[in-house]
Amino acid sequence: MLVARPFVAADEATLVPTATNIILARTTDRHKAAAIGLFFAGIPLGIGGSFLIAGTLGPALGWRGCFLLMAAIDVLATFAVSRVQDARVPREQLSSMGGQIGEWWGLFRANPRLRWASLGLVFLHAHVATSPFVQLWLQDDKGLPKADANRLYGLMFIVFGLAGALGAGLLADWAHRRFGTDRARSSLITLCLLVPLILAYRLMPGGSPLFLAGMAASILFMTMIYGPLFSVIEQELPVHLKATSTGINMLALNFLMIGGLALAIGMVSQRLAESGSAASWTIPLLGADLTSFAGLVMVWRAVRHPTQISPH
């Protein structure tokens, strides 16, 4: 399992910077957030679908059978990706990796809107880092049976994840066209409205109406950040640095949040469980939620600075 995981991660690391750059290069400014939201709708489909497969087919196929089934879906998807053609850039126009990173770093330091939007995107992923532990949290702290927890979270993630990924992009683009509203501002407002429900989600008994509303809010929070914030970030960059910036942001959020913070959540939960705590998952997951809320302050700082590059 440990040997196989880096190969999966390598595929993921290649996909997001290249795919988002290809999509944004072919999308007008009117629909950029919606286009990126559509791309990241693959997250709720993948995560929600995997939970549904595990909860429904897991007892019959076992975890190995579920792995192979989902791997077969991935292999089929590669044929669709292989059909995408991109323009070739002459070798003499290509700069070194060090040059690309150095140029990006100069813009990151000089452009406060780019800096705060990028940092906000990273910190907001602290809440995304809680997702792998939801199944265990629902079982151990909330008392839900394993299969029921899988099916509930899987179904909710598909429904509200798609609504978040697609809806946030469409809403941000519509508000931008109709009222001239900054996409960072519309994203900030909608995310802030979800905060009280997320706190209730952690603290209310499992299965209660407020708990289910909080679960929906949590999933929306995870999936609403991509379309609006990626479109804000890319607007501050020249064409040749867009994919580089996405790669750096993905590296930072995976290393610090989805990797580092997730490791901390697991370690703290184990210590609390060994001490006999009845909230061994709730406490570290709530800490990760509060960390993600710091990202809202950073998005607010991005809102305060106007764009420095024309969208065209």
Q: Where are the alpha helices (H) located in 82-145, listed in sequence order?
A: 97-110, 112-128, 134-140
C-alpha distances (whole Å) from 268 to each of 30, 80, 118, 198, 273 are 45, 42, 28, 20, 9
Specify the pLDDT at position 7.
80
* 103 Cβ contact list (under 8 Å, min separation 6): 95, 241
Which of the four pLDDT bands, split at 50, 70 and 90, describes residue 312? very low
Specify the pLDDT at position 88.
67
Residue 6 lies in a domain: no
Nearest to 20 by CA among 35, 5, 6: 35
Residue 91 lies in a domain: no
Residue 1 lies in a domain: no
Rounded (10°) CA dihedral 20, 22, 24, 26: -150
Specify the pLDDT at position 46.
78
**Tokens linked to 180:** 């001239």
Specify the pLDDT at position 311.
46
Domain span at residue 147? 12-80+97-303
DSSP 8-state secondary structure symbol assigned to residue 257: I
Residue 2 lies in a domain: no
Which of the four pLDDT bands, split at 50, 70 and 90, describes residue 65? confident
Residue 25 lies in a domain: yes
Within 10 A of 33 (CB to CB), how many other CB atoms are there? 29
For 129-147, letters b (16+ CB in 10 Å) and e give bbbebbbbbbbbbbebeee
Give the total number of structural domains in the chain: 1
pTM of the model: 0.86
Q: Quote the mean pLDDT of the chain.
A: 88
Q: Is residue 41 helix, strand or coil? A: coil
The answer to whether the beta carbons of residues 120 and 299 sit under 8 Å apart is yes
Rounded (10°) CA dihedral 42, 43, 46, 50: -170
Residue 231 lies in a domain: yes
More confident call, 47 vs 303: 303
Measured over all CA atoms, what is the biggest interatomic distance in the chain, rounded to whole angstroms? 63
Residue 86 lies in a domain: no
User: Which CATH number belongs to the domain containing residue 47 in this structure?
Assistant: 1.20.1250.20
Residue 163 lies in a domain: yes
For 273-291, give the DSSP string. Answer: HHTT-TTTTHHHHHHHHHH
C-alpha span between 253 and 34 (Å, rounded): 22
